[in-house]
């Protein structure tokens, strides 16, 4: 039976069972579309990375003997809409049956379901064979529970896949080494130079500008840095294991103005496009650790496994348990617009200037830069979660809604009212200075809370707690902040709030 099988840009899983045999009755289709380049303003490296990876994936399939229809952005038959392109192909190729892999995005899931409902030929959806938990597994696991504790889900996943386990107990008797993993980079410590892939992507960059696609960020079209094939992704994994894993956990939360990825893996793009399978990343990492236990402590490997087996699967489960309501949540009722310097990095705050400029240059910031710099500022300043989502969904190369929105609206902005985090992740200059080297070179003074050049994070921090007293004061995990706030002399508190109001009024000038 003549079959059309669709691959979306984030479904580049060459190990999928669809490819176990070569069948000339099956045509695989992939498409570059304005529907996808335009649903948010993306970083140019993100669009280029997706298109490059899709093109190479299609080429590999052809070389293996599969029939492939690849529709480029400027193809004259391209209607720029997924359903319209599919209908055209079905007619053109006399297709008798349509198959697709379950999308990871609610938007596309709905679009394809609707499309299939109205289709005259039979259709079927298949698992993408990528994730380690089923779409509804988290919802079933937490059924009847008020809170969705990541730690509980993670422990279940460790047992299920027998990762770092001795029978039913965690290897070395401890589940979690987070407390060991919070060090600042020592003064003269130089992390390893990141492995990058210098590829020429001139033709895609030209295509985007000729097509009038809007984008943000910078790109060196002769030296594209990101892996776009499975082979390159495996090389990045091998590089990570040898050079970064020994220090991964220790400096996981560290930030530095001279280094953009420190010991982070930068594997999120490869993982999210499914060029790598999460289980192979975990198994190879654990194997590497087992062979190098003299130089790699359990805290490093557990920290890494937790991110992929824990956080990544957990976020996906939350997404499917809570969408589409999740995308509307705004617990604090925040409504401020994102200041324009988020799009160009032109702020006097050294920490945010670096995190934003780096994001524009590399389409990447590591977790703590996202959570405790940009996200922290947005939350303290009361930015509308829609604005936060649009920025994060656009700017990062790894940003796909299922993992972006849960991290942004949930973990970072607490707009879900505590489904993901048991308290908002906020910090003042004290935290940022403890974990980074930004404050020494800043226009603002980390030690000042009010007055000339006082660090904005300091007054905004207390303003956040004061204005959200009704919503947060009873949270047992935040009690101490209110004890401190309540003990403050009345005039000191007023000064702090006045300072924060002034900064919020002049947010564009910060």
CA distance 376 to 259: 20
Site string for ligand FAD, 280-319 (x = CB under 6 A): ---------------------------xx--xx--x----
Q: Please, which of residues 400-439 interact with ligand SF4 by CB under 6 A?
A: 429, 432-433, 438-439
Q: How far is the CB of 191 from ligand FAD (least distance, A)?
A: 12
Q: How far is the CB of 35 from ligand FAD (least distance, A)?
A: 19
Longest dimension (CA), the chain: 79
Give every CB contact of residue 401 below 8 A, 6+ residues apart in sequence. 105, 106, 107, 319, 393
- DSSP assignment of 367-410, as one string? HHHIIIIIIHHHHHHTB-HHHHHHHHHHH-TT--HHHHHIIIII
Angle at 135 between CA 131 and CA 136, to 5 degrees: 140
| Residue 464 engages ligand SF4 in binding (rule: CB under 6 A) | no
412 binds, among ligand SF4, ligand FAD, none (CB under 5 to 8 A by kind): ligand FAD
| Residue 66 engages ligand SF4 in binding (rule: CB under 6 A) | no
Residue 4 in contact with residue 82, Cβ under 8 Å?
A: no
Site string for ligand FAD, 65-104 (x = CB under 6 A): ----------------------------------------
Which span sits near ligand SF4 by CB under 6 A: 185-193, 199-207, 210-218, 347-355? 347-355
444 binds, among ligand SF4, ligand FAD, none (CB under 5 to 8 A by kind): ligand SF4
Which span sits near ligand FAD by CB under 6 A: 30-38, 167-175, 216-224, 405-413? 405-413
Q: Which two tokens stand for residue 321?
A: 């348990």
Cβ closest to ligand SF4, residue 296 vs residue 429: 429
Q: Please, which of residues 339-378 interact with ligand FAD by CB under 6 A?
A: 366-367, 370-371, 375
**Peptide bond connecting 324 to the previous residue in cis, omega within 30 degrees of 0:** yes
| Residue 133 engages ligand FAD in binding (rule: CB under 6 A) | no
Q: How far is the CB of 455 from ligand SF4 (least distance, A)?
A: 3
Residues facing residue 445 across a β-bridge: 454
| Residue 446 engages ligand SF4 in binding (rule: CB under 6 A) | yes
Give every CB contact of residue 436 below 8 A, 6+ residues apart in sequence. 184, 254, 255, 256, 257, 351
Q: Name the helix (H) or strand (E) containing 68.
A: strand 67-71
Give every CB contact of residue 322 below 8 A, 6+ residues apart in sequence. 416, 419
Cβ closest to ligand FAD, residue 16 vs residue 312: 312
Q: How far is the CB of 412 from ligand FAD (least distance, A)?
A: 4
**Selection from 45, 58, 366 nearest residue 223 by Cα:** 45
| Residue 507 engages ligand SF4 in binding (rule: CB under 6 A) | no
Cβ closest to ligand FAD, residue 141 vs residue 239: 239
| Residue 398 engages ligand FAD in binding (rule: CB under 6 A) | yes
Residue 22 in contact with residue 66, Cβ under 8 Å?
A: yes
Cβ closest to ligand SF4, residue 380 vs residue 399: 380
| Residue 350 engages ligand SF4 in binding (rule: CB under 6 A) | yes
510 binds, among ligand SF4, ligand FAD, none (CB under 5 to 8 A by kind): none
Which span sits near ligand FAD by CB under 6 A: 15-23, 135-143, 399-407, 480-488? 399-407
| Residue 349 engages ligand SF4 in binding (rule: CB under 6 A) | yes
Cβ closest to ligand SF4, residue 260 vs residue 444: 444
Region of residue 333 (left: phi > 0; alpha: psi -120 to 50; beta: else): left
Angle at 140 between CA 17 and CA 414, to 5 degrees: 105
**Selection from 132, 180, 163 nearest residue 290 by Cα:** 163
Q: Which residues of 330-361 are buried (b: 16+ CB within 10 A; e: fewer)?
A: ebbebeeebbebbbebebebbbbbbbbbbbbb
Q: How far is the CB of 439 from ligand SF4 (least distance, A)?
A: 3
| Residue 164 engages ligand SF4 in binding (rule: CB under 6 A) | no
| Residue 496 engages ligand SF4 in binding (rule: CB under 6 A) | no
Count of other CB atoms within 10 angstroms of residue 222: 11
Burial class (CB in 10 A: 0-12, 13-18, 19+), 175: middle
- The residue whose Cβ lies closest to ligand SF4 is 442
Phi, psi values for residue 26, rounded to 5°: -105, 130
404 binds, among ligand FAD, ligand SF4, none (CB under 5 to 8 A by kind): ligand FAD
CA distance 8 to 58: 11
Q: How far is the CB of 463 from ligand FAD (least distance, A)?
A: 21
Q: How far is the CB of 356 from ligand SF4 (least distance, A)?
A: 12
446 binds, among ligand FAD, ligand SF4, none (CB under 5 to 8 A by kind): ligand SF4
Give every CB contact of residue 40 below 8 A, 6+ residues apart in sequence. 390, 393, 394
Binding site for ligand FAD (CB under 6 A): 264-268, 271-272, 307-308, 311-312, 315, 366-367, 370-371, 375, 392, 396, 398-399, 403-404, 407-408, 411-412
User: What does the binding site for ligand SF4 look like in residue numbers (CB under 6 A)?
Assistant: 349-351, 429, 432-433, 438-439, 442, 444, 446, 455, 457
């Amino acid at each position: 039976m003549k079959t059309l099988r669709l691959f979306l840009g984030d479904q580049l899983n060459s190990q999928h069972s669809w490819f176990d045999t070569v069948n000339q009755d099956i045509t695989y289709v992939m498409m570059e579309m304005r529907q996808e380049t335009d649903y948010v303003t993306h970083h140019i490296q993100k669009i280029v990375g997706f298109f490059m990876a899709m093109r190479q994936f299609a080429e590999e399939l052809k070389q293996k003997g599969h029939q492939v229809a690849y529709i480029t952005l400027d193809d004259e038959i391209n209607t720029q809409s997924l359903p319209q392109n599919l209908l055209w192909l079905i007619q053109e190729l006399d297709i008798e049956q349509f198959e697709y892999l379950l999308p990871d995005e609610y938007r596309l899931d709905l679009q394809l379901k609707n499309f299939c409902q109205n289709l005259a030929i039979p259709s079927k959806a298949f698992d993408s064979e990528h994730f380690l938990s089923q779409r509804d597994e988290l919802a079933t696991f937490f059924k009847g529970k008020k809170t969705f504790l990541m730690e509980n889900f993670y422990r279940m996943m460790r047992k299920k896949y027998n990762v770092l386990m001795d029978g039913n107990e965690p290897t070395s008797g401890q589940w979690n080494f987070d407390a060991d993993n919070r060090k600042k980079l020592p003064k003269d410590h130089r992390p390893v130079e990141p492995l990058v892939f210098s590829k020429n992507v001139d033709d895609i960059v030209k295509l985007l500008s000729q097509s009038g696609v809007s984008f943000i960020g910078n790109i060196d079209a002769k030296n594209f840095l990101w892996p776009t094939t499975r082979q390159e992704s495996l090389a990045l994994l091998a590089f990570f294991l040898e050079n970064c894993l020994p220090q991964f956990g220790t400096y996981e939360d560290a930030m530095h103005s001279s280094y953009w990825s420190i010991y982070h893996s930068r594997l999120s793009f490869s993982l999210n496009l499914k060029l790598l399978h999460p289980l192979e990343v975990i198994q190879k990492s654990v194997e590497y650790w087992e062979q190098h236990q003299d130089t790699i402590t359990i805290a490093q490997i557990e920290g890494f496994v937790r991110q992929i087996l824990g956080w990544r699967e957990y976020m996906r489960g939350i997404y499917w348990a809570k969408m589409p309501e999740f995308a509307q949540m705004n617990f604090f009722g925040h409504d401020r617009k994102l200041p324009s310097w988020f799009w160009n990095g032109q702020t006097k705050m050294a920490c945010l200037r670096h995190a934003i400029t780096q994001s524009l240059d590399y389409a990447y910031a590591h977790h703590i830069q996202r959570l405790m710099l940009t996200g922290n500022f947005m939350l303290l300043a009361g930015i509308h979660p829609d604005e936060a989502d649009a920025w994060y969904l656009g700017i990062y190369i790894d940003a796909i809604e299922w993992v972006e929105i849960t991290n942004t609206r949930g973990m970072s902005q607490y707009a879900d009212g505590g489904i993901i985090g048991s308290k908002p992740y906020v910090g003042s200059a004290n935290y940022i200075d403890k974990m980074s080297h930004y404050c020494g070179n800043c226009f603002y003074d980390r030690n000042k809370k009010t007055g000339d050049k006082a660090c904005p994070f300091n007054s905004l921090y207390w303003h956040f707690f004061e204005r959200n007293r009704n919503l947060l004061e009873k949270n047992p995990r935040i009690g101490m902040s209110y004890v401190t706030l309540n003990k403050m002399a009345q005039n000191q508190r007023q000064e702090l709030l006045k300072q924060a109001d002034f900064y919020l009024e002049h947010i564009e000038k910060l």
